Each structure stands twice: as structure tokens, then as C-alpha cells.
Amino acid sequence: MTVERNTATTPIAASAAATEDAFKNDPTATLEGVKGKDVTKAAKALLKDSAKRGGGSIQMQDVVKIYPGANKRALDDFNLDIKPGEMVVLLGGSGCGKSTALRSLAGLEDIQGGRIMVGGQDVTGVPVNKREMAMVFQAYSLFPHMTALENVEFGLEVRGVSKEERRKVAMEQLELVGLADQAKKYTQQMSGGQQQRVALARALAIKPRVLLLDEPLSALDAKVRVQLRDQIRRIQLSTGTTTVFVTHDQEEALAVADRIGVMNKGKIEQIAAPQDLYQRPATEYVATFIGLTNRLPGASNGEEAVVFGQRLPLIAGSAKGDSVAVLVRPENLALSLPDQYDSKVGEHARVEVIHFLGSLVRVDTVITSSEFQRWNKGEQLKVTVQLPANELPAGLASGDDVIITPRPVAALAC
């Protein structure tokens, strides 16, 4: 099929044209073999029989990436180990290195140190189009002059797959993403969510060992994002494709990941299952980045802390001291009215704002004791409590006095 290009079209078209050029530069690239003169020794090793390659496991070992002219490392001895069939989400704020890690894994960025292994084979020197990976970007990078079906077929066509077979595979993938009835539509006629599903189908059509998703949902509205993230997770589970998903959205990460790697300054601060990461953060950065947390004054012996008169178990690695910050989640605090409370633990607070969140209510309060204001460097100590909506004291309003009491749930002292 001859592809005509309009170089004066949208950024999506320009990106698509660049993708097409990358394929055309090596029209012999297939999953079965390539011309030896175009491939490094590492690439030849990678293209051996799949049974000898150990599936889609990934190891990034002490990877260093420094951009030209930069005075710090974008990736600083970065390490990541992913099992075959696992979905790992790299989560972090802007500039933490998460997209750089993904692009380095894909071969789109040269690295200055370390090794990248896929299926037990070193692919550090392997060209991007020989790594048997597929990548879905935030910008969909679809060909606007092609139908959805033709877009999905494209990667198969350049790999020499017959027309009948690629049509069959492409339709299967469109059905997988729920777009079989849209196969003959041009992508420009589709919504953003539909276009992103076409991009996903195109990536899966070539049966990659590794699927890379670079903030694929950030350009979509909230409702579509939730629907598509859930669909991506269902598809990943059904295909068993090893997947690395980059996002800055913590809710998105918690919803889809087998494990989440929280990145900071070019490194992973902690990688764990979503529930473990949320309930047992290893560092203050992780605790404050994932979900909401309160920094409360306490005394710690490393195993227990006393906060507002209440004893709390501590997470391993917690700091010791007579004056530490104990990180307590809003849902691990209880809220009571003074006239309904007879315990000796807890602290008086004043309600500032009540946020109704459907089944949940979040109550922002300020501790009234000046003792805690001194601990908080002269600032009022503000505490957020989250509880089921049906547990909110009747008639509670801004300005009311309440008692805040920590529940005996494990926390991190730092």
C-alpha cells in the first residue's frame, strides 16, 4: 500500500509521518528476522527463538541518562525489575524521570550507563524497531488519512503479513477494544477516547513482548479516562502482555497497577503493590505523594508512637525521637463532638470546611492548642479527617468544635 503524506497537516499527522519513516527505514524488520548487516550482535541474540528469550521480563540495571547541557542526571542509577505479564506503573511529578525511563526502555533515548535486559537478553545496544515493543503515546500518532482498520493493519503490513491475515488480526484487535463497528471510519471522525483505543489496538496487533504506555489518558476528559483505564487493564490481563504505564495521576496508578514505582529525582523511591504502597509507605515522599496524609506531632521509640495521647504502631524504618512527625491518613482519624466524648485521648479542633464527596465526607479542621502551633513552626496545625458520610455528626458545620483522635493503625514516623 502506498502511503501519501500531507506534510502541512496536524501535529498528529506529523508524528504519524515520523513513525512511518521509522518503519520505512527498515522495511525488512519482522518478528522472524532482519538483515544481519543492520543489526548489532545484541539484536541478533534477541531475535532467537522465543522459548530461549524468557518471555517479557524486564530489568533496567543502574541506568544513567544525562541530557546534553543538563547539570543533573535524568535517571540516576535507575533500577527496575518487572516479571513477565506484569503491569507496572511509574508514578511521579513532572521532571522525576518517569517518561525518560520509559523512552530509554523503548530505545528512544540513548543511555550513558547501565544495562537494559528484556527476556534475559541485553538490548542496550538494540535499535528501537528490533526490541519487539509497542508504545502508545499521549498524542495518538494515528494516520489521519487511514481508517481505523488501516491504522491497526499498518504495523502488520510493514512486517510482511499477508492482507488476509492482517485484516483478520486487525479486526480481532478492534473487537478487543470495542471498536469493531467503527473499523471503516477515518480516525479524524472519532472522539479522543476512540482514537486512543485505535492506537492501543495497533500496538497490540503486532503482539509485542512489552507494551509501553506514556500518559495515554491525560488528554481525555475525566469520565472517558476512567472508562478507558479500566478497559486497558482488562485487555492487559486478558492478553498477559508485560506492560509499563507512565502517569502522574495517582488514582489512575492505584486503579490499574500490579505494582507502582514512585519516582523522585531519577530514582524509584519505592515499588510495591498499590495497597502496600498506600498503607505502608517507605518514605515521607511516598506517603505524601500517594493520597492525602496528615503530619502530626508525636513521640516515637521506632516501634510505637504516641499521637494526641493515642498509641499507634509504626511501620518498619520509622524514626525515633521525642518530637517526630507521624504521617496519618485522613481515614485513620476519628472525629467526635465534645459533649459525646469521654476519653482522655484526642485533641480539640475547630471545623473549617466540610467537603461532601458522595459516600465520603472530608472535614478540614485546625487544632486549637497553641502548643502544636509552636511545633508546626508557628503555623496553625491543620488536620483533615475522612469518614463515611453516614458517620458525620448531624448538623456539624464550619466553626464547630470537635475532638480528633487517631485510630490505632500503622503509620510512618519521620
Of 34, 204, 218, 62, the residue nearest 127 (C-alpha): 34
pLDDT in tens, 308-355: 999 999 999 999 999 999 999 999 999 999 887 777 889 999 999 999
Do 19-132+208-275 and 292-413 show the same overall fold?
Answer: no
* Buried residues in 333-372 as b, exposed as e (16+ CB within 10 A): bbbeeeeeeeeeebbebebeeeeeeeeebbbbbebeeeeb
Calpha distance 364→271 (Å, rounded): 30
- Residue 122's pLDDT is what? 94
pLDDT value for 53: 38
Q: Are 312 and 305 in contact (CB under 8 A)?
A: yes
Burial grade of 64 (CB within 10 A; 0-12, 13-18, 19 or more): middle
Q: Beginning with the edge strand found earlier in the chain, give each strand of the sheet holding 87-91 in spatial order.
A: 133-136, 210-214, 242-247, 87-91, 259-264, 267-272
Assign domain 292-413 to its CATH architecture: Beta Barrel (2.40)
Which cell is 25 given? 527505514
CA distance 310 to 56: 48
Q: Where are the domains of the chain?
A: 19-132+208-275, 292-413
pLDDT at residue number 140? 75
Beta-strand pair 87-91/242-247: parallel
106, 116 contact by CB (below 8 A) = no
DSSP lists the bridge partners of residue 168 as none
pLDDT digits (tens, 9 = 90+) for 238-289: 889 999 999 999 999 999 999 999 999 999 999 999 999 999 999 999 999 9
Please tell me the pTM assigned to this model. Answer: 0.80
Q: Which three cell numbers stand for residue 105?
A: 526502555
For the record, the C-alpha cell of 354 comes out as 466540610
Q: What is the pLDDT of residue 55?
A: 58
Instruction: Report the distance separating Cα 328 and Cα 281, nearest Å.
Output: 11
Instruction: Please state, in angstroms and rounded to a whole number, the distance separating the CA atoms of residues 96 and 218.
Output: 17
> What are the 10-residue block averages of pLDDT along the chain, 414 residues in total?
36 38 37 38 43 68 95 95 96 94 95 94 90 87 92 91 93 91 92 91 92 88 87 90 94 94 96 95 94 95 95 95 96 92 86 96 94 87 96 94 96 96
Phi, psi of 328 (to 5 degrees): -120, 125
Look at phi and psi of residue 69 and say left if phi exceeds 0, alpha if psi is from -120 to 50, else beta: left
* In CATH, 19-132+208-275 is 3.50.50.60: no
Residue with cell 547501565: 114
Exposed/middle/buried for residue 387 (C-beta within 10 Å: 0-12, 13-18, 19+)? middle
pLDDT of residue 308: 95
Strand order, beta sheet including 294-301? 310-313, 304-307, 294-301, 320-328, 412-413
